[in-house]
């Protein structure tokens, strides 16, 4: 079961133009579900650059102002690549339920990346729901997460 802190922590959300409609739908759904949402844009369908929004969400999560982040672009790939350049961020591109569950249980993922050109809104909501409510398993997985930090290039 998710802790109270996990349920009340803010979720930072960002998207580029390709992800904007899905982000809008996810933001209003999350708010309806009683989640605290920090919407960091974009605010329309005009073409824009995903690294800017990935960085904004990653900074919000890395600083602790948000407990988790959700990023949406066309595929989820660019967002994940960009967000993972930030210290303390474990972003995973999860366009199915299995990946969403495992990215929490094994990788303690703190940023979920979605592809608006890959999945339908209903599946995206199910992925978000799974990802937000699946706990990290720790144990042997923590040793591997520690290794990632130790082995990273300076």
Query: What's 33's DSSP letter?
Result: T
Residue 141 designated active-site: no
Could you give the maximum distance between any two Cα atoms of the chain, in Å? 45
Q: Which is nearer to ligand RB5, 95 or 107 (CB)?
A: 95
Based on CB atoms, which residue is closest to ligand RB5, 6 or 49?
49
Q: How far is the CB of 82 from ligand RB5 (least distance, A)?
A: 9
Phi, psi of 65, rounded to the nearest 5 degrees: -65, -25
- Nearest-approach distance from CB 37 to ligand RB5, in angstroms: 21
- Which residues of this chain interact with ligand RB5, rule CB under 6 A? 16, 18, 50, 73-75, 77-78
Establish whether 17 is a catalytic residue: no
| DSSP classification of residue 134 | P
What kind and span of H or E run contains 119? none
Which CB sits closer to ligand RB5, 50 or 131?
Answer: 50
Q: How far is the CB of 68 from ligand RB5 (least distance, A)?
A: 20
Distance CA 107, CA 68 (A): 14
**Which residues on neighbouring strands pair with residue 94, listed in sequence order?**
none
């Amino acid at each position: 079961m998710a802790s109270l802190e996990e349920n009340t922590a803010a979720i930072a959300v960002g998207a580029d133009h390709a992800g904007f409609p899905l982000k809008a739908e996810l933001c209003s759904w999350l708010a309806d579900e009683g989640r605290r949402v920090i919407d960091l844009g974009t605010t329309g369908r005009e073409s824009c650059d995903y690294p800017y929004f990935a960085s904004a969400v990653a900074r919000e999560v890395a600083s602790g102002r948000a407990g988790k982040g959700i990023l949406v672009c066309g595929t989820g790939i660019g967002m994940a690549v960009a967000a993972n350049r930030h210290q303390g961020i474990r972003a995973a591109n999860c366009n199915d339920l299995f990946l969403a569950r495992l990215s929490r249980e094994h990788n303690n993922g703190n940023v979920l990346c979605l592809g608006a050109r890959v999945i339908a809104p209903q599946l995206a909501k199910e992925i978000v729901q799974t990802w937000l409510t699946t706990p990290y398993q720790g144990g042997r997985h923590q040793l591997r997460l520690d290794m990632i930090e130790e082995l990273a290039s300076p």
